Structure 1
Amino acid sequence: MSQEIIKILKETGAFLEGHFLLSSGKHSGGYVQCAKVLRFPDKAEKVLKPVVEQLKDVKIDKVIGPAMGGVVVSYEIGRQLGKESLFTERKDGVMELRRGFEIVPGDKVIIAEDVVTTGKSTIETKEALEKLGAEVIGVACIVKRVREDIGMPIYYAVDLNIEVYDSQVCPICSTEQELVKPGSRDMKK
């Protein structure tokens, strides 16, 4: 199944190969831009179906995605599971649940992401939701790239182990291939 997901990511231009500057300041030879696959509803359904299969017996009240990357993923997972879909967003650099969205204390929620690379936005979202009384039961994503334990289960369609390099020792830099910053998050300060 994961080969089929990778094929869809490549066909839609979501799986990129080259020389990328990540928001962490590190470099990589691969990058996944899930917005490219999520623009096609039928493909979004296909790449998230394996994730939904993993979640079908998990007790979930709400699906919540951090803006921007998790909004469409949250919607599609919520649609397939028949659950309410919400999103968090940053206000003054802090992840919050806004727009009149509500958490009932004790709500069991799954965080929805497009790609989990470092787990930063997932952990910020978890902290924001727990302050409201939610029980975060895990994160669901199309692509898992994170290698560290982020303190919750990860349900994913494909696990990609794309090498990441410190900028001072990046072997791709020696090829003179242009360095591109494809992501939406500001650079780590």
Structure 2
Amino acid sequence: MTQDDVLQLFRESGALLEGHFILSSGLRSPIFLQKARVFMHPEKAEKMCRALAEQIRAAGYGDISKIVSPAVGGIIPGYETARHLGVPAIYTERVQGEFELRRGFELAQGEKVIIVEDIVSTGLSIRECVAAIRSTGADVVAAACLIDRSGGEADVGVPLVSLTQYKVPAYPADALPPELAALPAVKPGSRGLA
């Protein structure tokens, strides 16, 4: 699946938005990828996650026992990618600001897992998820995402496999280009860190 194929699925779903957006990282961007609008179409989610599972295998990370995803955004791609890899999918949730396993989810000492996320911007959610998983004694062999909007620049703390890289400009609030500063800012994401 090419970058054009992935972005076309976002366009068809009305999920590639243009304007002035406040990202969950607090950075500002003229592009927002509203993945929930793509995930509401099971056939589109299935197509992307099947391709991501193939990328994971091709990168040499197919020998794992579970997929772990950060809630909420990673749950659907984590589940669907796990289905194509033939392994269970679990997720971490924030409890008092920190990711942890809940709902009876467990990882064994030395168990090999991959983190699956929807979109990576700065890599913060994956780094926090890696820390939570490592605290159980499990081994995070890699992370994977549908879109790496950092263009390969985000440090997630483990190797990152992405279905596609789509470098999208992002700026600190106090360093906006004039054309972006002229637009009203909208915060469409779910994480309240900004």
Which TM-score applies when normalising by structure 2? 0.91
Tell me, yes or no, if the aligned pair for 2:3 and 2:166 is still in contact at 8 Å.
no
1:29 aligns with 2:8: no
Offset, 1:15: 1.6
Report the counterpart of residue 149 of structure 2 in structure 1: 145
- Alpha-carbon distance in structure 2 between the residues aligned to 1:101 and 1:159: 31
- Alpha-carbon distance in structure 2 between the residues aligned to 1:18 and 1:129: 36
Tell me, yes or no, if the aligned pair for 2:93 and 2:99 is still in contact at 8 Å.
yes
SS for the counterpart of 1:164 is: coil
Identity rate, percent? 40
Tell me, yes or no, if the aligned pair for 2:143 and 2:161 is still in contact at 8 Å.
yes
Tell me, yes or no, if the aligned pair for 2:20 and 2:31 is still in contact at 8 Å.
yes
Q: How does 1:33-52 map to 2 (within 5 A)?
A: 33-52=34-53
1:178 aligns with 2:187: no
- Alpha-carbon distance in structure 2 between the residues aligned to 1:4 and 1:128: 33
The number of residues matched between the two structures is: 187
Tell me, yes or no, if the aligned pair for 1:6 and 1:158 is still in contact at 8 Å.
no
Offset, 1:186: 0.5
Offset, 1:45: 1.1
SS for the counterpart of 2:11 is: helix
- Alpha-carbon distance in structure 2 between the residues aligned to 1:150 and 1:39: 27
Which TM-score applies when normalising by structure 1? 0.93
What are the superposed Cα offsets for residues 44-102 of structure 1, whole Å, 9 maximum, x if unpaired? 01112221112225211100111000111110011111100001001111100010011
Root-mean-square deviation (CA, aligned residues, Å) is 1.3
Tell me, yes or no, if the aligned pair for 1:62 and 1:84 is still in contact at 8 Å.
yes
Offset, 1:148: 3.1
- Alpha-carbon distance in structure 2 between the residues aligned to 1:122 and 1:28: 20
1:7 aligns with 2:11: no
Tell me, yes or no, if the aligned pair for 1:65 and 1:88 is still in contact at 8 Å.
yes
- Alpha-carbon distance in structure 2 between the residues aligned to 1:24 and 1:42: 29
Offset, 1:156: 1.2
